[in-house]
A = this chain, B = another copy of it.
Amino acid sequence: MPATIRDVARASGVHISTVSRTFSAPHLVNPETRVRVLACAEDLGYRPNRAARALITGRTHNIGLIVADIANPFFPPLIKAAEGQARHRDYHVFVADTNEDPVAEEDLVHALAKQVDGVLLCSPRMSNSLIEQVSREVPVVVINRQVAGLPCVMMDVGQGARAAIEHLLGLGHRRIALLGGPRGSWTAREMRRAATAAARGGGAELTILGPNQPTETGGGALAEQVRRSGVTAVLAYNDLMAIGLIEGLDAIGARVPHDVSVVGVDDIALSRLTRPKLTTVATPTAAAGRTAVDMLLQLDSDAPRGARGRGAAAGDRRTTAQVMLQTELVVRDSTGPVPAPGRDGTVA
């Protein structure tokens, strides 16, 4: 029932190849012919069959986007941005969710491999070596992780964590806790590294709690532990955990920021709506999504037709750019000066 290129050709009295060219290389066909063909196509409601096109061009015009948990508000802006950018270039995005499971992650990328032109691996939980392995099967751009030899787009959470710690130091805090993220997270490692260094540099003591589930529940569950540890400030792996922690602290009678200062990471929409408004490290999620799509498509157009699957495997491709996006500390209401009465801060 759906009109094919042949129907259009018949209707407009030209050969199918002319119809094909009308769409894929308009400059090659006579303007008059072109308008006639277009009119017929419009008339018959013709839309090129992407499967057939994919078969011959080797390009599906689809890209896969694998995220850890679509329900985490961190991801939707990234997904939207990626989708928008892709649509703009006549690509579609498959979004898939791994439920934070490294195994599901691997299965998914295999399943996707044959029906997309490339995969965006966002905040992967699997090992670097596994990532390298799958990248031999399908072009991959990694988001939120650094993998040698592969194109990556990262957000500078190290710098963000440093800024957060320095902000807290400036408020007089000297006993700080870091709520670690999930196991296998590159971001978690980076934050830890940077926060540790910054704390040491400022003469503060950093307690690391984790790894944890990066959710409200995960944050809330740590309230008791934070309270007991005697810290006056907390840097959480993400906003969700920070918000959960604030709720949890509130429930056991600790006030934020009066008793404890809390800093999150991500600057999700919600962080502007809770009370107190959350001080947080804003990550350029949308930009990351757009950049990743661009890099993938770039990669893809570089690769000679038929050479898909080789891709950047051997690292000989000099297009394996790695970009680091800047983060920014946004100071709101969940951080304040270290509580005065306690004899906790050593250096004043």
Q: How far is the CA of A54 from the CA of B77 in the complex (A)?
A: 32
Partner of A216, one of B247, B269, B310: B269
Q: Is A60 an interface residue (CB 8 A)?
A: yes
Known contacts A1-B309, A269-B216, A55 near B47 by CB under 8 Å? no
B269 adjacent to A71 (CB under 8 Å): yes
Number of copies: 2
Nearest CB on B from A137, distance (A): 8
Q: Is A329 an interface residue (CB 8 A)?
A: no
Partner of A47, one of B47, B83, B113: B113
Q: Is A112 an interface residue (CB 8 A)?
A: yes
User: Looking at chain A, what size class is its interface with the partner chain?
Assistant: 35 or more
Neighbouring B residues of A306 by C-beta, 8 Å: 1
Partner of A273, one of B54, B111, B247: B247
B112 adjacent to A97 (CB under 8 Å): no
Identify which of residues 35-93 in chain A touch chain B, using a CB-to-CB cut-off of 8 Å: 45, 47-52, 54-55, 60, 62, 70-71, 73, 76-77, 79-80, 83, 87, 92-93
Q: How far is the CA of A114 from the CA of B70 in the complex (A)?
A: 26
Q: Is A224 an interface residue (CB 8 A)?
A: no
Neighbouring B residues of A1 by C-beta, 8 Å: 306-310
Nearest CB on B from A283, distance (A): 15
Query: Which partner residue on chain B sits nearest A52 by CB separation?
Result: B55
Nearest CB on B from A11, distance (A): 18
A80 adjacent to B51 (CB under 8 Å): no
Q: How far is the CA of A97 from the CA of B83 in the complex (A)?
A: 8
A95 adjacent to B92 (CB under 8 Å): no
Q: How far is the CA of A2 from the CA of B83 in the complex (A)?
A: 27
Q: Is A250 an interface residue (CB 8 A)?
A: yes
12 A-B pairs whose Cβ atoms sit less than 8 Å apart in the complex: A1-B308, A47-B114, A49-B114, A50-B51, A50-B115, A51-B60, A55-B55, A79-B95, A92-B112, A216-B273, A247-B274, A247-B275
